[in-house]
Amino acid sequence: MIAAARDSAIEIGLIGGSGFIGSALVKILLDRGYKVRILDIAQPLPSSAAAEYRYSDVRDLSLLTKTLQGCKLVINLAAKHRDDVRPVSLYHEVNVLGAENVCNAAVALGIDDIIFTSSVAVYGFPRGEPDEESPPNPFNHYGKTKREAEGVYRAWQNGALEKRRLEIVRPTVVFGPGNRGNVYNLLAQLTRPRFVMVGKGTNRKSMAYVCNIAAYLMFLIEADHSPGAYLYNYCDTPAYSMNELLYEVRTALKKPTEPSIRLPYAVGIAIGATFDLAALTLGRTFAVSKVRVQKFCANTVFSSKRVQSSGFTPPYDLRQALHRTIAIEFSPEQTV
């Protein structure tokens, strides 16, 4: 039996709704007439003022259960995801124990619909283009705890197969105006007057525009699905090579599209290792390191064919999204 699309009269509990993706999703939900309750440790943006806000913390089961009361759908966007989270135990507390608390609160309140944003970090260093059938192989605390959290949610869904619906979305790196994550840092490098390209520049990077991933979550909210567990990678296409990305960024800013210098990969790695030695000797951190050079030159491409075949059409193509972000972040005089 296929379940009917959700009624917009239901109240949606959006955990982590004050964050980057959450703020974009709140806007879409409000525009569609949904009742939205933001549960977060941080205050929401002014643009989310029409939504109800309640202070909540996924690490506090009692508080979480209280603040979710009356909701029929839970969307969990809350996570510890940066590389420098300290103490490292916070990854487990927020990502794994937080998932357990969400599931326990859902059981207590009779909530049978959960959407959880995981991450492509569960695949670790990708070989080829991992799809949803590829085996997870996380290497860092973030990827490992996201993988564990997925298992927690699957166990919750398995507890009542005939009525519970679980949607797990694994986005790649998300970018857009106002975000200061990995893509912003990469774009900032590409905008510099003297940009050094390490390697041939043919390696490709999967990315996801914040408005598109929010629109896809909205698509899942309104999709007709029977109870069950569903898994999706989310990436916008095509995955640009570093050369293509450089061209798009520099074209948008009306700057020369060729890098100032091209260095062989081995030379870039040697320079990164030299900075690592200096950092160890001086007790300082530098913008250049061996790991950062490796990440810059790596292929990080994921398959999102399941999303592409679902009937979802992203509101922005990737080129539009890049140019819009560049115009807002790096060309304040331009209007979009």
Cα 261 from chain centre:
32
Write out the catalytic residue numbers.
Answer: 142
Alpha-carbon distance of 134 to 306, in angstroms, equals: 13
Do 22 and 65 touch, CB atoms closer than 8 A? no
Instruction: Give whole-number Cα distances, 183 to 159, 234, 290, 307, in Å.
Output: 38, 16, 19, 22
Do 117 and 79 touch, CB atoms closer than 8 A? yes
Do 43 and 68 touch, CB atoms closer than 8 A? no
Alpha-carbon distance of 187 to 20, in angstroms, equals: 18
CA count, 13 A, side-chain hemisphere, 160: 13
Contacting residues for 99 by C-beta, under 8 A, at least 6 apart:
58, 76, 116, 148, 149, 152, 153
Alpha-carbon distance of 97 to 289, in angstroms, equals: 33
Alpha-carbon distance of 102 to 152, in angstroms, equals: 10
Pairing of strands 204-209, 236-241: antiparallel
Alpha-carbon distance of 195 to 213, in angstroms, equals: 30
